[in-house]
Structures are given as structure tokens and as C-alpha cells.
Structure 1
Amino acid sequence: MTRTKLLQVDSIDHYLFRFTVKTVTLVIAWASVTASAQSIRFQLPTAPISQFDVWESSVTSKKSLTDNPFVGASLHAIFVVGTDTIPVEGFCDSPDGRLFRLRFMPLRAGQYSYVLSFSVAKGKPQLTRGQFTVAASTRPGPLRVDSQHPWHFVREGSGEHFFWNSTTTYWLMGWKDERIIQQALDRLARLRINRIRVAINARQDDGKRWAEPLVKASEQFTFKLNPWVARQPDDLDNPGFDVTRFNVAHWQKLDRLVQYARQKGIIVSLIFYVDGLEHGCDPFKKATMGNADEQRYYRYAAARYSAYDNIMWDIANEYHLFRNEAWVEKMGTLLKQADPAKHLISVHGKADFPFRKSPWVDVVLYQSWDECGGYQFMTDCRQKQMEAGRIMPQVNEEYGYEDHYPVWGCGPTATKVPNGRSADNRRRLAWEIYMAGGYQSTGERANEGTGAGHDTGGGWINGRGDSTMTMLTGYGYIMDSFQQVTYWQMEPHNELTNYGNLCLAEPGQQYLVYSRLTDCRVALPRTSGTYSVLMLNPRTGEQHPLPDCDASANGAWQYPKSLVDDWVFILKKK
């Protein structure tokens, strides 16, 4: 991890110290003023803390200290561990400014010293200091790019590789009853989904915008998300956002969503805009995009959520519809600097990704529908990334949702042929994406909708599902298959199998074959010895060990019978 270093520090107790946050240098004098003299109170955690936990402190006051606490007051901290110095920004957590919080995630065990500084407008900072010990943790820690195998992911704490099994739940925050949110997360966790996409800010009238007319606003569900205070929060096109004041209740609800997902082992990709071009979602427009108020929006999110090990950032969904590339670069750089934990960051756009070399980008996200986003597309994406001189994971973040048939997509086929985007079709396409060495985010059907007909589901729109929605079970079988090999050490090697079948291999050691033909054959080095062979049914999850293969016999393994449907074979050197 790269952390900001002290520019001038003799010790944490020194009378004068200096630190730099991005390009802004703050100088704090060690004053003898006490918090009580200024009618504020620092509240510091006393419970033991472990690595990757959330250390949270607060500042409270008996009355509001400024007309607008979101711009007129600030809470900052410096944490020092060993030779590392980490500046952290706090945030206002009450509409009247009587409560500020500061959250910090220690990334390493050890002895920490800190100084908290609270100030109002241009007043003199009020300080408190302390120390705490961080114990080693068994938590998996934040998601990182694997430095040894940078096409793939690893958890910082456990060192375990992370098989990205993701789905879209844009309007999960739209549920008014938070028990429904928790039930949705419970279900997705049971289905082994380990990452979800959630909008912080989005506005729509109903699902007709995406050819999903059964998903409607109701007494339980709203499409209108209000991250800022609004004069008319229920007005779709003119909410009257005050972009200098945050709607604290909205953010506290998102806190609880992130915290519950953390308990369930689910990473939440926080999206700052979904359908930013639509209705009143974007209060800045191109005229004021990237200004101080919009920057505050991104910094506020970083202050609230960077202390959680189960988040990552998405600058905007389909940014190209309402922003330009210069804005993306600006906000991506800002967010990378504002997040002391340096969570993964990307931006969702289309089939092209113009930010391959940008220092703030950690993951490449695409939108390419149907077979246009399948094996060949992901293979080409890997090649373009290699040509850029920087390897990082490739994800088709959207390739068409289950039973979702708008007029757009990969040509006319999928939009007109029945079952063109069925659960089985999406599963097979996901296999293609994974077998190209990439990753994917899927979406469940939303055609049994909120507020109409059978009032369950909502799928990719709001994250809720039921027992009739079985697509994600097949994605769990994909995870089962990959977790039986060290897939991060494998590369695409289709030249080793029948044309039309797909092969990932660490030649001479292990092979994962996704067979779609009546025959399946894999070429092996004759000198590589004996292999165990496992046959998996990707439609049911059943697994069957087959007889061992001696590569010296004919330099290949071949399944002796004709196959019907798709199958998976895993060969491992014994």
C-alpha cells in the first residue's frame, strides 16, 4: 500500500507537525485549548481492534456550530504506525452538524498513534490525541489485484484468491423496509454471490425505461434515491437538490447495507451515478461537472466507506452518456487520493475502455452484450491490455440480463429469438468470459416485478429474488469448477483442444476444459506423466472422477464417448 508520508515530524507529540493530503498542506499547532472549552466532545473507541476492523471516533456538540456543517466544519485525523502516516477525513453525520464521525481501517497490526483535529470555519482547530494497538486479524481484508498474477484478484489479509462472482442490484437502496434488503443479501450470499453493484444516486419513474414494465414504484419500493437534501424529494425531474448538504438518512441506510453485506462476505461496488442522463439524477450537468460541490460528493463517500474492507468504487455507470473522459480522469484521481485504504476503482462505460493506462484504475469494466461480449471479445480485451503495457483484471460488467429483451444488444438474434437471454444462455456466455481469463457480472430476471403481478423479484434492478429464480445456481457451479484448480496460474490454450471447445491450462500441470462439442480431446506433453481426471456437469453441479490418464501413451487425453450438452473436464498432474 502506498501511504502519504510525513513531511516534517519529530514525533507525534511534537509542538508543530505538518502533513500533506494531496496538494493541500495543513499546519496544526499543538494548542492547550480543551474540547470542553469549545462545547464539543471527542468520543474515542475503547474496545479492542483488529486489522481490517473499523476504528470509529466521533465529535459531538450541544448545538449547531455553523449554518452548514457539510461545508463549514471539518474533522481530520493523522494515524502513524511505524514509518507510515495516514491522513483520514471525517464526515458530518447529522443534518444540524452536532455529530461528526471519523472511520479508519488499519491495514496492518501494530501500535498506532493518532491526532484528531476538529475545526469550524476558520476557527482554531481543537485536538485530541491517543494510541491504540491493532491485533492481527483473520478477516480476508480488502480486495486487491494479485501482484504476482495481475489478471486476477486476491484478498489482502488472507491472501486467498477471489473468484469474482458478481451480480447487478442497482436499486437495492430503493427498498423502504430494510428487512427486504437484508433478505436479498441473505439469498445472494446463499447463492455464493460475492460482489454486488449498488447505486448511491439514481432516479427513474419505473422499469419501462429498460423494457421492464412490471417493476414499478410501490409502497415498499422507490426509484428515487436522494443522496442530497432535496426541496422536492418525490419530484422525479426537479428534486431541487442542495448539493452542499447531504441527506444523512440516505447515507446511514447505505451504511447499514454495507455493514450487513460485510457480515455476509459480499463486496459492494458503490456506483456514484446510475443513468446520470435521466431525469433529476445529475444536479451538476456538464456545466458544473467536477466542481467543488461534486468533488465533495466523492470525498464524502470516501470518508464514510473507505474504512470497510468490503467495498470498491465505480465512478459512474455508463459515464459516456452524460460525462466526458476528462471528467472521469479527474474524479478517478480525486477518489483514489481521498481513499486512505486504496480500494479498487474503475468506471463503467461501453465496449471500449479508454483508461487502460490511468494510474487510478485498478480493474477494467466493459459493457458488451450477448455473444459480442463473449470469448473473442474478452480475448481481444486481454490483448489490448497487454499492448497498453499494464496488466489488470478484465470484467464484462454487463452482457445482457436474464429474460431481458430490449431492442439493443448484439445484433438482432438475442432480441428476437426465444430464450436468447435465458438463464442457460447467460450461464454459457459466462463460461466463455471466464475461459478467456476474464470475469463477469450478471443480472437476474426482473420480469416478475415489484408492484405488479407476482410481487417478488426485481432481479438486476433491485436485487430481490425468490425460489423460482435459479440462474445464479449455475454460476455457483462455475465457481465450484474453478476453485478446484489454481486458475490464476492458468492461461487460455484453445490450441490444445478441439476447435470450439475452450481450454485454460498450465501446460504439463493442470487443464480446465469447457466442452461444447460431441467430442473432447486435450493434447498433453508426452513426458508429463499421469493425470487425474474429473468430469463435472455445469448444469447440475454433479462431479464424477474418471480413470487416470497416462500422457506418455499418445500425448493426449480423450473422453471415450459422445457428449450431449456442455461439460467440464479437469486434468491435474499426479
Structure 2
Amino acid sequence: SYNVKHFQRIDERLKQLRDLNIEADLILFHPYDRWGNNKMTAAADDAYLKYVVARFAAYRNVWWSLANEYDLMPQKTTADWERFASIIVQHDPYGHLRSIHNCIPFYDHSRPWITHCSLQRQDLYRHVEYTDEYRERWQKPIVWDEIAYEGNINHGWGNISPMELTRRFWEACLRGGYAGHGETYMHKDNILWWSHGGQLHGQSAPRIQFLHRILKQTPGPGLKRLPGNFDELVAGTDTMMDDGYRLYYYGFGRPSFREFYFDEDTRYEVEVIDTWEMTITFRGIHHGHFKVELPGKEYMAIRIKKVD
């Protein structure tokens, strides 16, 4: 039998998130439960999935995450995950987004039922830096659900600085992907925002909001990585035609200036963005060869827009 009160609580949370315009990536299986959800029989698994899809597919903000860290559930085989996916596809009349999240090995994201790649970093140092490569490999949106969290707990997945998490967001977005925020600061009442919500205490969230504002100002559907120098990340509008829009990001580099040349005649509006201080400074209209002064500090960006 189903614990109706449990599912009613999820109903309420989905409605609350919907009213805040927040998408709900609903995890269907995970290895950390204490109730045996990940050790049910195949018949129980299938009945559970049919019930969940029938109940929650009506919410427009629902995404289906088949699993959090699917590879930590050895009792589930690839055949099981594929069967689960087919149940969701068959019984969801609205075609909500679908994916499956890894701990170490990625799932085969080329599978046709997967709508986007839900990824956790595999390497301590390089992860979001592969965003454009993975996007090309799988030809699907790249969503970094776990790239470590701002915080100070003992685990390496939850103690990076706000500056580093902000940098990882810029790297992911300018390479044409998406990233997820989390916060895991020690708390006197053992409340981690990452699992309990409540009040944020960190510094990355407003910087990510600042980045979001810049992304919303991007013409076209989004960004894609463009060729650039070895020490910079360059993004432009993700369209077939070049509209002259550029974002240059320097991450932990600290150049005191950069020089540009596109052609002799086209005029460009130039802005310097301090991604940590959250400022945008107008640096004039230029054409031909021009030089942009920078403060010689980390986490700077330059935005260049063609003037009609």
C-alpha cells in the first residue's frame, strides 16, 4: 500500500516550488535512503514508478531524475534503469525532462530517453572545463548538478570557497552548460542548507544571481564557447549567425589589459565586468585595434557588443 501522507507532502512542496518559479528535479531512487526504497522487488519498483508518474506528472515544474548516484546501487542493473525509463516515457503524457545522475561513471547519455545530461564531477580539478566537449559528444544540454558546494564541512564535496563556486558557474555557462548551487556550512544546530534549506549564509548565491542577470541579457537562446586565446574563455550567442556578441572570462588569471581587433569599421560597445564585486563598467565604443584596461585581479570579464 502507498503512504498517501508522504506523497501529499511532496505534492505540497512541488506546489510551493512551482509558485516560486523553481523547477523540481524529482529524484526517484537514491542509495542513501533508510526505508528500503532502493531494494524493492522489480514488481514493486514498477508499481512505484507508475504511481509517482501518474501523481506528479501534472505539475509543470517537475523533472524526472531516475537516480542520484545510480552507480552506488549495485542491486540495480542497466536493464533495470532502462526499464524504469521506459515506464516513465510511456506513462508521462507531458514529456517532462528526464536524466540520471552519477557518482563516478557517467551513464550512457546518448540513450534516446535522456533529454539532458545530469552530471557530477569525476575529477577533483577538471569538470566544468569539459562542458563544451560533453555538449559536443552527446548533443544534449549539460547540467552540472554537483560540482562541489560552498561550505566548510570535512568532505571535499562540500568545502570549496564562494569564489571558486562562482568561477565554476562562469566556466560552465560560458561553455554552453548549466550548473547547480549548494551550500554546506557548519551550523550550531547541524542544519546544512544543502539538505534542509532555510537561510543561506554563503557569498556565492548573489554572484550567481548576478551572472543570471547577464545571461538574461544575452541575445538569442544562450551561449556557446568560441575560439580564443589559451588563457581566456570566450563565449558568443548560440546561433548559426555571428551577431558580434562576446563574453571574455579570465577566471583566476589577472591581466592588466587585453587587446582586440575584429575589423577596421565595425563599432563595438565594451564593458568590464567584475564578477565578484558584481559591477559592470562602460569602457566606450571602439573599432579597429583597441585596448581594454583591467584591474589586474581575478574573476574579471569583458563584454563586447556590436553597435548597429
Using structure 1 for the length normalisation, give the TM-score: 0.49
Distance in 2 of aligned mates of 1:359 and 1:305: 22
Cα deviation, residue 478, structure 1: 1.2
Q: Which of 105, 124, 143 is equivalent to 1:395? A: 143
**Counterpart amino acid of residue 252 in structure 1:** Q
Distance in 2 of aligned mates of 1:371 and 1:268: 28
Distance in 2 of aligned mates of 1:562 and 1:465: 34
Matched, 1:300 2:51: yes
Q: Which of 14, 39, 49 is equivalent to 1:284? A: 39
- Contact 2:131/2:172 (8 A) holds in 1: yes
How do residues 223-302 of structure 1 correspond to structure 2 at under 5 angstroms?
A: 245-276=1-32, 279-282=34-37, 284=39, 288=41, 291-302=42-53
**Structure with max Cα Rg:** 1
**Counterpart amino acid of residue 300 in structure 2:** W
Provide the residue aligned with 2:236 in structure 1.
505
Provide the residue aligned with 2:183 in structure 1.
444
Distance in 2 of aligned mates of 1:504 and 1:358: 28
Pair 1:535–1:457, CA change in 2 (3 A): farther
How do residues 304-319 of structure 1 correspond to structure 2 at under 5 angstroms?
A: 304-319=55-70
How do residues 389-468 of structure 1 correspond to structure 2 at under 5 angstroms?
A: 391-406=139-154, 421-448=160-187, 453=188, 455=189, 457-466=191-200, 468=201
- Contact 2:151/2:202 (8 A) holds in 1: no
Pair 1:485–1:371, CA change in 2 (3 A): same
Matched, 1:355 2:88: no
Provide the residue aligned with 2:133 in structure 1.
380
Provide the residue aligned with 1:542 in structure 2.
279
Matched, 1:491 2:224: yes
Distance in 2 of aligned mates of 1:382 and 1:431: 16
Please, what is the CA RMSD of the aligned residues?
A: 2.4
How do residues 541-560 of structure 1 correspond to structure 2 at under 5 angstroms?
A: 541-550=278-287, 553-554=288-289, 557-560=290-293
Provide the residue aligned with 2:71 in structure 1.
320
The total of aligned residue pairs comes to: 298
**Counterpart amino acid of residue 247 in structure 2:** L
Pair 1:378–1:426, CA change in 2 (3 A): same
Per-residue CA shift, 1:165-214, capped at 9, x if unaligned?
Answer: xxxxxxxxxxxxxxxxxxxxxxxxxxxxxxxxxxxxxxxxxxxxxxxxxx
Q: Which secondary structure does the structure 1 equivalent of 2:246 belong to?
A: strand
Pair 1:257–1:573, CA change in 2 (3 A): same
Per-residue CA shift, 1:314-333, capped at 9, x if unaligned?
Answer: 00100111122221111112
How do residues 85-124 of structure 1 correspond to structure 2 at under 5 angstroms?
A: none
Cα deviation, residue 527, structure 1: 5.4
Identity of aligned residues (%): 21
- Which structure 2 segments of 5+ residues have no match? none
Q: Which has the higher contact order (CA 8 A, sep 6+)?
A: 1
Pair 1:463–1:520, CA change in 2 (3 A): farther
Provide the residue aligned with 1:565 in structure 2.
298
Matched, 1:345 2:98: yes
Q: Which secondary structure does the structure 1 equivalent of 2:180 belong to?
A: strand
Distance in 2 of aligned mates of 1:321 and 1:359: 23
- Which structure 1 segments of 5+ residues have no match? 1-244, 386-390, 410-414
Distance in 2 of aligned mates of 1:489 and 1:256: 32
Q: Which secondary structure does the structure 1 equivalent of 2:221 belong to?
A: helix
Pair 1:457–1:568, CA change in 2 (3 A): farther
Cα deviation, residue 522, structure 1: 6.1
Distance in 1 of aligned mates of 2:243 and 2:262: 6
Q: Which secondary structure does the structure 2 equivalent of 1:488 belong to?
A: coil
- Contact 1:508/1:528 (8 A) holds in 2: no
- Contact 1:518/1:564 (8 A) holds in 2: yes
Distance in 2 of aligned mates of 1:541 and 1:562: 14
Q: Which secondary structure does the structure 1 equivalent of 2:6 belong to?
A: helix
- Contact 1:351/1:366 (8 A) holds in 2: no
Distance in 2 of aligned mates of 1:561 and 1:424: 19
Pair 1:558–1:491, CA change in 2 (3 A): farther
Q: Which secondary structure does the structure 2 equivalent of 1:432 belong to?
A: helix
**Counterpart amino acid of residue 335 in structure 1:** I
Q: Which secondary structure does the structure 1 equivalent of 2:67 belong to?
A: coil
Q: Which secondary structure does the structure 1 equivalent of 2:202 belong to?
A: coil
Q: Which secondary structure does the structure 2 equivalent of 1:473 belong to?
A: helix
Pair 1:509–1:352, CA change in 2 (3 A): farther
- Contact 1:535/1:544 (8 A) holds in 2: yes
Provide the residue aligned with 1:99 in structure 2.
none
- Contact 1:532/1:571 (8 A) holds in 2: yes
Q: Which secondary structure does the structure 2 equivalent of 1:334 belong to?
A: helix
Provide the residue aligned with 1:73 in structure 2.
none
Pair 1:493–1:524, CA change in 2 (3 A): farther
Q: Which of 476, 479, 502 is equivalent to 2:212? A: 479
Distance in 2 of aligned mates of 1:372 and 1:330: 33
Distance in 1 of aligned mates of 2:265 and 2:203: 41
Cα deviation, residue 351, structure 1: 5.1
Q: Which secondary structure does the structure 2 equivalent of 1:255 belong to?
A: helix
- Contact 1:329/1:358 (8 A) holds in 2: no
Pair 1:446–1:297, CA change in 2 (3 A): farther
Q: Which has the higher helix share?
A: 2
Cα deviation, residue 456, structure 1: 7.6
Cα deviation, residue 438, structure 1: 1.2
